[in-house]
């Protein structure tokens, strides 16, 4: 069990030995690309993209550059993995890496389009939560700059790398042919992708409608649907964050794909670190979002009491005291 969990230990050990003896090797794009192990060039890409996001964050003061890379980096990593295998194995495709490519590419297209439709790629666009986080560092310029360096850029970029490259690396050195359980995992991944697409579309339609109401100054005509300030219909009647639920579901499917094709039918492995860390990030982001929403919209607490926070579930029926039958003295 332990040997299967620490899969590819020999390959990882060789990479570590090379980088320990020659750390500058990782900064040579041509050499890392031509190396027999695909991990070298993915590390070069990680460093290059992290330097780019850090430079843009510092030069513009906008903390959302990592958000723009979030949906682009995993398809780039996985594409390189597939191409590297193809070139190094006499131009033979790895079926499971090809499957992984299509799944991650589909995930990336959806997320990129969702961000684009909300104007997320505009220079002035920034996630609204960063405004609150900035208040935590008022009068603490050095701490804020360290936070930008280590959390906003290095930690988040490492997180993207971990949940996408780690399982791809396991699959790279595993069985090249499709496994029996790949099909149900692919179907499940597609279901999660569909759920997240619908959830994001419903939220986008609501937010656009609310903006139109405000722009048209129909304050007296506004109905409760927009007056509450938050969306609670559609998939959001089953979960307060169905998009987060579906997002994590997709990456857990990717991890489980990496558990197939080993020595036994199903092998847990160390790449779980990536998706566990992503789960932690989503949990913290979800709670921060709820803190902001609770502060802005008083009725959100009522909605939260009847609706599951994460896992979709039947909403609780509100208990209303009925005093209509009581007679006055």
Name, in order, each residue with C-beta under 8 angstroms of 316's C-beta and a sequence gap of 6 or more.
305, 306, 307
Give residue-wise pLDDT tens across range 91-131: 999 999 999 999 999 999 999 999 999 999 999 999 999 99
Please identify which residue in the block is written with the tokens 């409760």: 224
Contacts of range 233-237, beta carbons closer than 8 Å, 24 or more positions apart: 233/202, 233/206, 234/198, 234/199, 234/202, 235/195, 235/198, 235/199, 235/202, 235/312, 236/199, 236/202, 236/203, 236/307, 237/307, 237/315
CA 13/CA 29 separation, integer angstroms: 21
Q: What is the DSSP string of 272-326?
A: HHHHHHHHHHHHHHHHHHHHHHHHH-TTHHHHHHHS-SSS--PPPPP-----TTP
Closest-CA residue to 310 (of 247, 251, 264): 247
* DSSP, res 136: T
Residue 135 has pLDDT above 80, yes or no: yes
Give residue-wise pLDDT tens across range 252-294: 999 999 999 766 678 899 999 999 999 999 999 999 999 999 9
Closest-CA residue to 121 (of 72, 76, 158): 72
pTM: 0.92
Q: Which residues of 75-88 are buried (b: 16+ CB within 10 A; e: fewer)?
A: bbbbbbbbebbeee
pLDDT at residue 323, rounded to an integer: 42
DSSP three-state, residue 212: helix
pLDDT at residue 318, rounded to an integer: 60
Structure tokens given for 143: 């701490």
Within 156-241, residue ranges assigned H as helices are 156-172, 182-215, 224-227
pLDDT at residue 125, rounded to an integer: 93
**Residue 207: CA atoms inside 13 Å, Cβ hemisphere, count?**
9
Residue 13 has pLDDT above 50, yes or no: yes
Structure tokens given for 117: 């439709």
Give residue-wise pLDDT tens across range 18-36: 999 999 999 999 999 999 9
Structure tokens given for 221: 């005509």
Give residue-wise pLDDT tens across range 36-92: 999 999 999 999 999 999 999 999 999 999 999 999 999 999 999 999 999 999 999
Structure tokens given for 140: 């603490």
Name, in order, each residue with C-beta under 8 angstroms of 8's C-beta and a sequence gap of 6 or more.
169, 170, 173
């Amino acid at each position: 069990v332990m040997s299967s969990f620490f899969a590819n230990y020999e390959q990882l050990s060789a990479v570590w030995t090379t980088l320990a003896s020659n750390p500058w090797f990782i900064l040579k794009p041509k050499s890392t690309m031509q190396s027999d192990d695909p991990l070298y060039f993915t590390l070069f890409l990680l460093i290059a993209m992290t330097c780019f996001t850090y430079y843009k964050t510092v030069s513009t003061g906008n903390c959302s550059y990592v958000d723009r890379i979030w949906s682009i980096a995993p398809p780039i990593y996985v594409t390189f993995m597939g191409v590297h295998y193809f070139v190094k194995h006499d131009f033979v495709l790895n079926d499971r890496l090809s499957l992984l490519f299509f799944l991650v590419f589909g995930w990336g297209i959806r997320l990129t389009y969702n961000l684009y439709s909300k104007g997320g790629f505009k220079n002035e666009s920034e996630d609204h939560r960063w405004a609150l986080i900035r208040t935590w560092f008022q009068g603490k310029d050095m701490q804020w700059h360290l936070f930008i360096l280590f959390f906003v850029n290095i930690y988040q970029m490492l997180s993207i790398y971990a949940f996408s490259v780690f399982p791809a690396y396991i699959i790279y050195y595993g069985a090249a042919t499709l496994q029996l359980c790949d099909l149900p995992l692919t179907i499940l991944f597609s279901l999660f992708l569909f759920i997240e697409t619908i959830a994001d579309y419903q939220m986008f339609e609501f937010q656009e409608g609310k903006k139109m109401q405000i722009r048209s100054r129909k304050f007296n005509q506004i109905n409760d649907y927009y007056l509450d300030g938050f969306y609670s219909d559609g998939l959001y009647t089953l979960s307060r964050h169905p998009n987060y639920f579906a997002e994590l579901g997709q990456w857990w499917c990717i991890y489980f794909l990496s558990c197939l094709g080993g020595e036994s039918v199903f092998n847990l492995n160390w790449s779980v670190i990536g998706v566990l860390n992503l789960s932690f990030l989503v949990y913290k982001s979800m709670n921060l979002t709820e803190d902001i929403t609770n502060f802005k919209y008083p009725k959100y607490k009522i909605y939260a009491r009847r609706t599951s926070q994460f896992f979709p579930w039947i909403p609780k029926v509100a208990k209303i005291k009925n005093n209509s039958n009581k007679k006055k003295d």
